[in-house]
């Protein structure tokens, strides 16, 4: 019946109000139209919140995965450099670069933890398992 949630109150009342309706009926229709417009706006806002939460949960999972997948090879690179490279200058350069990457990973890890805290403040389990969220 309504093309979109952005229909104006006037557009809605024009559909229902005709020349034979009384002033009180017109007021009632206007009040109903305002309630309907408010409901549409509320639904749109809830959909935006659900999308934001879905993306936050997805991004949190991706960050955790990346941190884990990068941290393990770095530990191996550091160990190989310390054990197998005799040239101290080369070994120090490699471990310095590994340390730089580790600091970046620690920043990602901190971001992941902060995101987890935000997600934890929202009862996202109901959202996720209601069929609306991430599978």
The two tokens of residue 95 are 């471990």
Residue recorded with tokens 């949960």? 57
The tens-digit pLDDT sequence of the chain (135 residues) is: 444 555 666 666 666 666 667 788 878 888 888 898 899 999 999 899 888 888 888 888 888 888 888 888 999 999 999 999 999 999 999 999 999 999 998 888 888 778 777 777 665 555 545 544 443
pLDDT in the model for residue 58? 85
Q: What are phi and psi of 78, to 5 degrees?
A: -60, -45
d(CA 93, CA 75): 15
d(CA 99, CA 128): 37
pLDDT in the model for residue 9? 66
Contact call for residues 36 and 15 (beta carbons, < 8 A): no
CA 29, distance to chain mean position in Å, is 38
Q: Which residues contact 108 (CB under 8 A, 6 or more apart)?
A: 63, 66, 67
């Amino acid at each position: 019946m309504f093309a979109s949630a952005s229909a104006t109150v006037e557009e809605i009342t024009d559909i229902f109000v005709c020349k034979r309706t009384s002033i009180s009926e017109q007021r009632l229709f206007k009040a109903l139209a305002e309630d309907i417009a408010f409901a549409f706006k509320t639904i749109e806002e809830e959909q935006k919140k659900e999308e934001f939460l879905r993306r936050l949960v997805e991004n949190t999972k991706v960050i955790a995965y990346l941190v884990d997948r990068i941290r393990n090879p770095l530990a191996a690179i550091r160990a190989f450099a310390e054990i197998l490279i005799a040239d101290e200058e080369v070994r120090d350069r490699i471990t310095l670069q590994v340390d730089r990457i580790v600091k970046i990973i620690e920043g990602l890890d901190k971001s992941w933890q902060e995101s987890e805290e935000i997600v934890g403040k929202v009862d996202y389990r109901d959202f996720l398992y209601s069929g609306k969220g991430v599978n």
